[in-house]
């Protein structure tokens, strides 16, 4: 009768196992930040793609409406944003998927000037039940983006002082209501106290803004006499925007400070 002797099988010792675990931990620590940054860049690129498509939709709308801008981004659906492409209204960095509004409040970020106060009347989602001179499209349920030319009545408290204007100056349709669209068009064409009441450059004047990248990018505003007093030296969050001219650009949350801002 034959007998077989079992050979000693190779096995990890406890020390070797701990070494392997430590190596895996070091590699994970090196790779995870890179993966996180890659995901951030992918979300930002996707947002810029959405805004580029929205810009083309706005331009087509203007071509069909004697250069007039739409009352809401939801107005573009379904003639200019076709069925199945409503996703261009949602930023991947928006954890609420457009449900919390176009300019949601955020928790404070240490050392960063976060100007994320909410203008609820501009929300282009189903939670906006306010009465508006020209209502939004109820078929669009959610939207991540702030449309600064919306038909909602403007609650920006400082606009009269900043523009040195009153309701009758901006009220294009004569209904006695100063909408965001009317106020911003007047600001674009006539400037404000920041520009010395000179018109703005349409390529840096935003009509659509995304405020959902506040943890993905920051800008340092130059602490120099050339920078405006109200933002000099601030660290501000990044926004991605569509300009009135149709181009997509990045800026600090105070877009007027763009000439003095550098990415951190």
DSSP-assigned states of every residue in 31-97: HHHHHHHHHHHHHHHHHHHHHHHHHHHHHHHHHHTTTPPPSSGGGGTTTTS-TT-GGGG--TT-TTT
- The pLDDT-based confidence of 5 (bands split at 50, 70, 90) is low
pTM: 0.84
* pLDDT tens figures, 116-163: 557 889 999 999 999 899 999 999 999 999 999 999 999 988 999 999
R_g of the chain, CA atoms, integer Å: 25
The residues that bridge with 209 in the sheet, in sequence order, are 146, 241
pLDDT at 113 over 80: no
The answer to whether the beta carbons of residues 204 and 193 sit under 8 Å apart is no
Residue 2 pLDDT: 55
High-pLDDT (> 90) share of the chain, %: 63
pLDDT at 8 over 70: no
Residue 115 pLDDT: 56
* Mean pLDDT, rounded, of the chain: 88
Q: What SS3 state is found at 261? A: strand
Residue 23 pLDDT: 80
Residue 9 pLDDT: 54
What's the number of CA atoms in the CB half-sphere (13 Å) around residue 231?
A: 23
Q: Average pLDDT in the 210-221 region?
A: 89
The answer to whether the beta carbons of residues 65 and 119 sit under 8 Å apart is no
High-pLDDT (> 70) share of the chain, %: 88
Residue 29 pLDDT: 74
Residue 141 pLDDT: 95
């Amino acid at each position: 009768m034959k007998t077989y002797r079992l050979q000693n099988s190779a096995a990890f010792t406890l020390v070797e196992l701990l070494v392997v675990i430590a190596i895996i931990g070091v590699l994970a620590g090196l790779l995870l930040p890179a993966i996180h940054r890659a995901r951030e860049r992918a979300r930002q690129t996707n947002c810029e793609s959405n805004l580029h498509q929205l810009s083309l939709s706005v331009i087509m709308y203007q071509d069909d409406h004697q250069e007039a801008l739409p009352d809401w981004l939801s107005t573009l659906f379904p003639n200019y944003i076709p069925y199945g492409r409503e996703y261009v209204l949602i930023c991947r960095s928006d954890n609420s998927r457009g449900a919390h509004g176009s300019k949601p409040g955020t928790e404070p970020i240490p050392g960063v000037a976060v100007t994320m106060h909410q203008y609820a009347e501009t929300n282009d989602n189903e939670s906006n039940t306010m009465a508006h001179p020209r209502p939004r499209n109820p078929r669009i349920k959610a939207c991540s983006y702030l449309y600064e030319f919306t038909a909602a009545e403007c609650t920006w408290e400082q606009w009269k002082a900043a523009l040195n204007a009153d309701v009758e100056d901006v009220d294009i349709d004569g209904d006695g209501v100063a909408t965001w669209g009317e106020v911003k068009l007047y600001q674009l064409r006539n400037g404000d106290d920041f520009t010395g009441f000179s018109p703005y450059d349409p390529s840096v004047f935003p009509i659509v803004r995304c405020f959902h990248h506040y943890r993905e990018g920051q800008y340092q505003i130059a602490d120099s006499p050339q920078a405006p007093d109200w933002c000099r030296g601030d660290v501000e969050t990044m926004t991605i925007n569509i300009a009135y001219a149709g181009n997509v650009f990045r800026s600090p949350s105070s877009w007027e400070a763009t000439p003095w801002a550098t990415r951190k």
